[in-house]
């Protein structure tokens, strides 16, 4: 019996400038308005982790094999990942809008940080030693450890946090992606110039033509 064709793997856009922001940006559109969630199951979570560079293809295959053997645990990790992602998005969206984040979201992130740091390791590197993560084992949430560390590092950075931005199309209810503005003059307004930036540019051109 012929196997049905597999749907093509979703290609995630990594435009946020920090791993935690790329994780938060796995929902297209504006949350609660016209959102399209691209993390649909545990396999998609592993695919994102591999594309984002949190582990390699070999580790991805090993995680998927573990998930097939432990489907209930994989589902629980997936649900926890979505809750973490939404907390991260709310926290940094609040900072981008110069609001205060909700304490419950900070507590969720803090708890995830404690679990993630238990997997931090010192390894031999080119300059004697380097920080890394557990490379073996059967932990199904391995892709989340560097995400949580990235979020914590950004939160405590007095230099980087003020550069946090939300895409300019959030005002029209079209995009809620977050990014760090690392341009020299701090003038970046769009998550992606080829997408949201061009859409806004075309809209301004249309309005000028009408008037």
Q: pLDDT tens for residues 87-134? A: 999 999 999 999 999 999 999 999 999 999 999 888 777 777 888 888
170 has pLDDT over 50: yes
Note the pTM of the prediction, 2 decimals: 0.89
Average pLDDT over residues 5-24: 87
The whole-angstrom distance between residue 127's C-alpha and the CA centroid of its chain comes to 30
Share of the chain above pLDDT 70, in %: 89
When pLDDT is averaged across residues 26-40 and rounded to a whole number, the result is 88
CA distance 114 to 87: 16
pLDDT band at 208 (very low <50, low <70, confident <90, very high): low
Weakest mean pLDDT among 130-134, 155-159, 182-186: 130-134
Instruction: Provide the CB-side half-sphere exposure for 92 (13 A, CA).
Output: 37
Give CA–CA dist 91/99, Å, rounded: 9
Q: Which uninterrupted H or E stretch holds 164? A: strand 164-166
Q: Is the pLDDT of residue 44 over 50?
A: yes
Which has more confidence, 135 or 114?
A: 114
Question: Measured on CA atoms in the order 144, 91, 130, 56, is the torsion positive or negative?
Answer: positive
pLDDT value for 202? 59
Confidence check: pLDDT of 4 > 60: no
Is residue 181 scored above 90 in pLDDT? yes
Average pLDDT over the chain reads 88
Q: What is the mean pLDDT of residues 134-158?
A: 92
Residue-wise pLDDT tens digits, 46-76: 999 999 999 999 999 999 999 999 999 999 9
Phi, psi values for residue 128, rounded to 5°: 75, -65
Under the banding of pLDDT at 50, 70 and 90, the label for residue 5 is very low
Q: Which of 145, 121, 123 is nearest to 54 (CA)?
A: 145
**Comparison of pLDDT for 106 and 2, the residue scoring more:** 106
Q: Residues 164-178: what's their mean pLDDT?
A: 87
């Amino acid at each position: 019996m012929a196997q049905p064709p597999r749907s093509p793997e979703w290609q995630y856009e990594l435009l946020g400038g920090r791993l935690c922001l790329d994780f938060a940006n796995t929902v297209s559109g504006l949350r609660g308005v016209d959102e399209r969630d691209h993390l649909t199951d545990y396999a998609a979570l592993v695919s994102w982790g591999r594309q984002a560079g949190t582990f390699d293809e070999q580790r991805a295959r090993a995680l998927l094999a573990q998930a097939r053997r432990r489907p209930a645990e994989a589902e629980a990790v997936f649900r926890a990942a979505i809750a973490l992602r939404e907390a991260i998005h709310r926290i940094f969206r609040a900072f981008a809008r110069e609001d205060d984040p909700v304490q419950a979201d900070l507590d969720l992130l803090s708890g995830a940080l404690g679990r993630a740091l238990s997997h931090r390791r010192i390894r031999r590197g080119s300059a004697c030693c380097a920080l890394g993560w557990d490379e073996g084992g059967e932990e199904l949430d391995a892709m989340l450890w560097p995400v949580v560390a990235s979020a914590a590092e950004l939160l405590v950075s007095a230099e980087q946090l003020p550069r946090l931005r939300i895409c300019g199309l959030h005002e029209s209810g079209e995009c809620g992606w977050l990014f760090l503005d690392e341009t020299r003059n701090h003038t970046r307004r769009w998550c992606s110039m080829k997408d949201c930036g061009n859409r806004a540019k075309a809209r301004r051109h249309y309005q000028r033509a009408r008037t």
